[in-house]
Structures are given as structure tokens and as C-alpha cells.
């Protein structure tokens, strides 16, 4: 079993319940991963993903090996049939097979370049490892998705949803940012929300439409204030344009999340995957308010990773 996208979750409510139960007793399955090793390969920086995935592995009794591939590894060639007489001394074919001999699971972080849409959509790094590794692969944020973040978000939503209300209203709101950011978090959040029984609305300025193949029939409301009305959860994230690929076409500060906008909601909880730029994406007063769930979301990254690793380890045991 690989965990490459949110679509690898076969039953979201069951996974969320199991993750919440693991949260109550994180060491319950500490024997499951004994003598097994996870290799965490980072082609990009991380705080939460690196520490929470290591923590999850540790809770399951696993060893972890971390490699900052961008700084420590040989630059990898991913194209087939290349004459490798330029800067890249190692091919993914050998690298993935070699790492598979040292690790029982390989987890990979490799962001979108935001330069070559077609290469990013092909998930060259993640799929390269999935193709040539001989062990399960976990996506720790790829060009297109961040399914460990989405699983943590699902756990956080379940913990804070008002059970008396039939369907919570959840809004994914774009917010301004000085730099071009990838679509991965927003994409996986959309895919996760499509598996939820909720009223789900995406709001962003015109031109910031996400990949239609991902948003499908999800509702898009270009008027942010209208979208916020009666919302129970505001999930905020910046992303660059998808159509005008990787471009920052709008930095309008009026899209920042502030207390005035939150006042339009049904006393909504505020969510963000972090890291977040204060007073650019969201105002201090919202981020520091008791309605902000960002620290809890980050905490739930451990139990998101733990449920994923547990499922993979259990399947390995079955196959043995």
C-alpha cells in the first residue's frame, strides 16, 4: 500500500475515528513497527512534517532515517534514456532501489517547481519513487497533494464539529501572499472535503481557480464575504494561479483574514496548515484567538502520519 493521495484513504470516517483513538493512547501499537525503518527524504524544507512523521514512526516502534536530499544526496536524474553527462550523477532507478534495501517505508517531500506545469502534474519525484522503489511510499507533500496534512485536517474538523448541526459549513479561502506557493495543500483539502458530509465552499479571486480535475463540482464563490456568511470553519491557504501557472496575479490585502470577516461567520474556527505569514495571510487577532485551531492541526499531524503508517505496517504483516 502506498499513501500518495487522499484517494488512498478507503474510508475517511473510519480512519478519522481510528486516528482519534490512537491519539488517546499513542503507544498502543508500539510493537507494530519494531525493527522496521522509515526513510524520510526531503527535497524541500519542513518543520511539522519532519517532526510529526518521525514522532509517529517512533510511537509505532520504528526507526527513522532522515535525509535532506536537496543538500545531502546526489542530484537525481528522473528522465528515462538520458545521456547523463551533465550535473546529475545518479538515476532514480538505482537510488530508489538502493534506498528500498535500507528502509521498509520511504516517505518523500518534493514540492512543485511552479515552472513546468506538465512536469509538476506528472509528479516526477513522487511517482519516480513509487515506480522504482520496492517498498511502500508515503507522500509528505508533492507537487499536487499533501494528503498527510488533509488527514490531520479531517481529524481536527471531527474534533471541533458541532454534532447538533446536520452539516457544517466549511470554507476554503485563498489569502494573499508575497510569493508564489504550490497548490498541494488546497488540492488535498478539497479532495478530503469531497469525502465529507458538509456544505463546502471555495472562495478566491478570479484567476485563482484550482485544477478543475480536482475541484470538480465543489462550489466556488468569488465574493469572499458572501462565502464567509454562517461558516463554521474557515480554512485559509494561499496558492499561486493554476491556469497562469505559478504566477502571483493578485496580492490584494483585502483578502487577508481579519476579525471583521470572521464576524460574518457562525463563530467559525480558523484553520491553516502552517507556516503562516502573520498580518499578510491572517491578522494576529484571528490567529491568536481561541477560535484558532492551527496548533491543534499541527499536533494532529502526528496522528495522521500514525494512522497511515499503521495501515501500511498492518498490510506488510498480512503479506508476510
116: cell is 513546468
Count of CB atoms situated within 10 Å of the CB of 297:
23
Residue 264 binding ligand CP, by CB under 6 A: no
**Which residue number, 91 or 109, has a Cβ lying nearer to ligand CP?**
109
Cα Rg of the chain, angstroms: 20
Tell me the C-alpha to C-alpha distance, in Å, between residue 126 and each of 96, 111, 287, 305. Answer: 11, 10, 33, 17
Residue 75 binding ligand CP, by CB under 6 A: no
Q: DSSP string spanning 192-230?
A: HHTTSSSEEEEE--TT----HHHHTT-EE-S-HHHHHTT
Residue 273 binding ligand CP, by CB under 6 A: yes
* Helix, strand or coil, per DSSP, at residue 40: strand
Residue 219 binding ligand CP, by CB under 6 A: no
Element (H, E) at 69: helix 69-72
Beta pairing, strands 105-109 & 90-91: unpaired
Site for ligand CP in 82-141 (CB under 6 A): 141
Q: Which stretch binds ligand CP (CB under 6 A): 40-48, 79-87, 162-170, 230-238?
A: 40-48
CA distance 175 to 252: 8
Q: Which residues contact 81 (CB under 8 A, 6 or more apart)?
A: none
- In the complex, what is the shortest distance from the CB of residue 141 to ligand CP, in angstroms, rounded to a whole number? 6
- Interaction pattern, residues 131-150, with ligand CP; x per rule: CB under 6 A: ----------x-------x-
Q: Which stretch binds ligand CP (CB under 6 A): 24-32, 42-50, 212-220, 308-316?
A: 42-50
Residue 55 binding ligand CP, by CB under 6 A: no
Q: Which stretch binds ligand CP (CB under 6 A): 31-39, 204-212, 267-275, 285-293?
A: 267-275
Q: Which stretch binds ligand CP (CB under 6 A): 59-67, 128-136, 214-222, 269-277?
A: 269-277
- Exactly one of 27, 47, 84, 254 binds ligand CP (CB under 6 A); that residue is 47
End-to-end CA distance of the chain: 14
The CB-nearest residue to ligand CP is 49
Write the DSSP symbol of residue 309. Answer: H
Residue 64 binding ligand CP, by CB under 6 A: no
**Which residue number, 19 or 227, has a Cβ lying nearer to ligand CP?**
19
CA distance 175 to 280: 8
- In the complex, what is the shortest distance from the CB of residue 297 to ligand CP, in angstroms, rounded to a whole number? 8
**Which residue number, 154 or 227, has a Cβ lying nearer to ligand CP?**
154
Residue 41 binding ligand CP, by CB under 6 A: no
Give the binding site for ligand CP (CB under 6 A).
46-49, 141, 149, 273-275
Amino acid at each position: 500500500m502506498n499513501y500518495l493521495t487522499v484517494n488512498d484513504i478507503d474510508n475517511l470516517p473510519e480512519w478519522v475515528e481510528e486516528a482519534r483513538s490512537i491519539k488517546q493512547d499513542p503507544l498502543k501499537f508500539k510493537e507494530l513497527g519494531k525493527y522496521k525503518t522509515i526513510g524520510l527524504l526531503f527535497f524541500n524544507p519542513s518543520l511539522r512534517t519532519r517532526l510529526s512523521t518521525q514522532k509517529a514512526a517512533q510511537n509505532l516502534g520504528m526507526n527513522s532515517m532522515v535525509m535532506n536530499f536537496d543538500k545531502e544526496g546526489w542530484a537525481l536524474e528522473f528522465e528515462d534514456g538520458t545521456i547523463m553527462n551533465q550535473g546529475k550523477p545518479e538515476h532514480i532507478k538505482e537510488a530508489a532501489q538502493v534506498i528500498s534495501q535500507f528502509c521498509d517505508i520511504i516517505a518523500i517531500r518534493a514540492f512543485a517547481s511552479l515552472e513546468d506545469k506538465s512536469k509538476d502534474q506528472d509528479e516526477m519525484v513522487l511517482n519516480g519513487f513509487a515506480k522504482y522503489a520496492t517498498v511502500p511510499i508515503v507522500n509528505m507533500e508533492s507537487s499536487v497533494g499533501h494528503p498527510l496534512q488533509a488527514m490531520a485536517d479531517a481529524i481536527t474538523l471531527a474534533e471541533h464539529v458541532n454534532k447538533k448541526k446536520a452539516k457544517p459549513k466549511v470554507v476554503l479561502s485563498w489569502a494573499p501572499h508575497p510569493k508564489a506557493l504550490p497548490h498541494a495543500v488546497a488540492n488535498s483539502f478539497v479532495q478530503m472535503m469531497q469525502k465529507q458530509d458538509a456544505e463546502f465552499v471555495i472562495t478566491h479571486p478570479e484567476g485563482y481557480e484550482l485544477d478543475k480535475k480536482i475541484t470538480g463540482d465543489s462550489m466556488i464563490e468569488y465574493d469572499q464575504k458572501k462565502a464567509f456568511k454562517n461558516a463554521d470553519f474557515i480554512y485559509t491557504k494561499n496558492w499561486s494561479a493554476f491556469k497562469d501557472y505559478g504566477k502571483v496575479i493578485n496580492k490584494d490585502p483585502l483578502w487577508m483574514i481579519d476579525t471583521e470577516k470572521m464576524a460574518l461567520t457562525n463563530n467559525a474556527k480558523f484553520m491553516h496548515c502552517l507556516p503562516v505569514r502573520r498580518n499578510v495571510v491572517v491578522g494576529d487577532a484571528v490567529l491568536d484567538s481561541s477560535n484558532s485551531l492551527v496548533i491543534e492541526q499541527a499536533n494532529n499531524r502526528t496522528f495522521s502520519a500514525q494512522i497511515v503508517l499503521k495501515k501500511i505496517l498492518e498490510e506488510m504483516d498480512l503479506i508476510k
